[in-house]
Amino acid sequence: MIFGVFTVILFIIFLIFHLSDPRRIINGFLFNMFCCSLLVSGIYFAVTTPIVIFRVMILIPLFIVLLFLSTFGILALCVGLFLNARILMKKEGRRFSNCLTLILGLGLLLLLLFSVVNPERFLSPNLRPLFAGGSLIVFYFFFSLTNFLSAYFLYQFNKPKYNQDFIIVLGSGLIRDKVPPLLASRIDKAIDFYRKQASAAYPPTIIFSGGQGPDENLSEAEAMQKYAIEKGIPPEHTLKEDRSVNTYQNMLFSKQIMDSLKNGKYNSIFTTNNFHLFRAGLYAKQTGLKSQGIGSKTAFYYWPNAMIREYIAILVMNRKRHIIVVGTILAFSIIITIISFLVS
C-alpha cells in the first residue's frame, strides 16, 4: 500500500513540474523516479499477491528483460552504436561531429572490459579511493544522461494550442544560398501549423530567424522567407530577424521584435528539428521567452548522434554545476587517498 501511495505522489509532483514548464531537466529526474517507484510497486505487488497468475504475468517478463540487460544489454547497445556510426558516416560524411556514436560505443566497450578485468584489484589499497572517485564521476554523468533523455523524450509530445500570435522558425544554415532539406523541414512545420491555426482561428505571423554567414550572399531569414512565400504564405504574415548567429540570439532577437509589436502580450511558439527541440526550449527560457517548441521529423539514423551532441551542448550550458560536482568528488577522493598514505 505504501509503495502505491508513494508512486502516486511522485506522479503528481512530476505532473505539476512538467505542466508548469516542460523545459526543465528536473522533469526527467522526476519521471525516472516515478518509473522506478512504479517498477518497485509492481514487484512488491507480484511478490505479495496470493493470485498466482499475476505473479507469473509480472515476474517472468521482468526476469527475462533483466537477464537480457545484465548479460547482453551493453554489448547490444555497443553493436547498435557502431552500426549507426557506419550508416551515418556513409550518408553524412566522415566529419568528427558524425563520429559521436562511434566514440560512445568504444567508451561503453571499454567500460565493459573494465568490469570484466576489474583493474581495481591491481591497485594499491591506498589508491582505491581515486578509482572509486572516478567510478562515481562516471555514474554521475550516466545519471545526468538518463535525466536528460527522459526530459528530451517528454518534450517531443508538446502540443501548442492554436492561439499563437507568432511562430519563430530557427535557422540552421544555407547551402549555396538555398534552403537545404534540414532547414526546409523546419519551415514546412511552421507552414503546417500556420495553416491549421488559420483554418481554426486566425493566421499567426511567422518570424524567420537567422543571420548571414560569411560564405552566404543573403541572410537565412531572407532565404527562408522566400521559401515560405513560394509555398503560399502571404508576405504580410511574415517577418525577418536577420541578425542572429546562434539559437540563443534567435530567441533573444525574435523576442525583441515580438515585444515591440505586441508590448510583451502575445503567444508564440518556435519550430526546429525534433532532435534540437529541448535545447532550443532551454535557450528560449534563458531569454525570458515563454515559447514552447514543435519539432520537424528527422531521419531515424541521425537521431542517436544528434542526441549525444545535444547532451554535450547541455553539459556545456550547465558546466559550472558539473564542474562543482566533479571537482568535489575529485577533491574528496584525493584527500582520502592522501590520508590513507599518511596513516599507512
196 in the same domain as 100? no
Q: 13 and 112, same structural domain?
A: yes
Residue 307 lies in a domain: no
Task: Give me the domain span that covers residue 120.
Answer: 2-127
**Mean pLDDT value across residues 181-207:** 94
Residue 260 has pLDDT above 90, yes or no: yes
Distance from C-alpha of 250 to C-alpha of 273, rounded to nearest angstrom: 14
Q: Which long-range contacts (CB under 8 A, 24 or more apart) does 335-342 make?
A: 336/129, 337/126, 337/127, 337/129, 337/130, 340/125, 340/126, 340/129, 341/126
In a domain, 337, yes or no: no
The cell for 156 is 517531443
Strand partners, 239: 207
Please state, in angstroms and rounded to a whole number, the distance separating the CA atoms of residues 207 and 254: 7
The residue-averaged pLDDT of 175-198 equals: 92
Q: Is residue 139 part of a domain?
A: no
Average pLDDT of span 241-257: 94
Residue 339 within a domain: no
Confidence (pLDDT) at 233: 95
Overall number of domains in the chain: 2
pLDDT tens-digit readout, 196-205: 999 999 999 9
Q: Render pLDDT for 206-223 as a digit per residue (tens, 0 to 9).
A: 999 999 877 778 899 999
Tell me the pLDDT band of 1, cut-offs 50, 70 and 90: low
Q: What is the CATH number of the domain that holds 195?
A: 3.40.50.620
Question: Does one domain contain both 244 and 170?
Answer: yes
Number of Cβ atoms within 10 Å of the Cβ of 268: 22
User: Does some domain include residue 35?
Assistant: yes
Q: What percent of the chain has pLDDT over 70?
A: 98
Helix segments in the chain, DSSP class H: 2-20, 26-48, 52-68, 74-92, 100-117, 128-155, 181-200, 220-230, 247-262, 277-286, 303-317, 319-343
Same domain, 111 and 190: no
Among residues 106, 127, 148, the one where a domain terminates is 127
Q: Compare 206 and 125 and report the one with higher pLDDT.
A: 206
CA distance 88 to 111: 24
Same domain, 9 and 70: yes
**Same-domain status, 211 and 286:** yes
- Asked whether residue 160 is assigned to any structural domain, the reply reads no
Are 89 and 212 contained in the same domain? no
Residues 122 and 24 in one domain: yes
Does pLDDT of 123 surpass 80? no
C-alpha–C-alpha distance, residues 170 and 161, integer Å: 20
With 90 as the cut, is the pLDDT of residue 147 above it? yes
Q: Is the pLDDT of residue 121 over 80?
A: no
Q: How confident is the model at residue 92 (pLDDT cuts 50, 70, 90)?
A: confident
Is 162 a residue whose pLDDT tops 90? yes
The per-residue pLDDT for 17 is 94
Per-residue pLDDT tens digits for 54-68? 777 777 777 777 777
| In the predicted structure, residue 8 carries a pLDDT above the cut 70 | yes
Report, as an integer, the average pLDDT of 331-339.
91
Provide the 8-state DSSP code for 180.
-
Region class of 299: left (phi > 0), else alpha (psi between -120 and 50), else beta: beta
pLDDT-derived band at 159 (thresholds 50, 70, 90) equals confident
What confidence score (pLDDT) does residue 199 get? 94
Instruction: Judge if 123 and 170 occupy the same domain.
Output: no
Q: Looking at the structure, do residues 103 and 49 belong to the same domain, yes or no?
A: yes
Residues 179 and 252 in one domain: yes
Min mean pLDDT across 23-37, 240-254, 288-302 is at 288-302
Question: Percentage of the chain surpassing pLDDT 90?
Answer: 54
pLDDT average, residue stretch 234-258: 95
pLDDT average, residue stretch 126-153:
90
Determine contact, residues 32/13, Cβ cutoff 8 Å: no
Domain boundary among 298, 316, 335: 298
Residue 333 lies in a domain: no
Angle at 182 between CA 244 and CA 167, to 5 degrees: 55
Residue 9 falls inside a structural domain: yes
- The yes-or-no verdict on residue 16 having pLDDT over 70 is yes
Phi, psi (rounded to 5 degrees) for 209: -115, 115
| Same structural domain, 97 and 24 | yes
pLDDT value at residue 129:
85
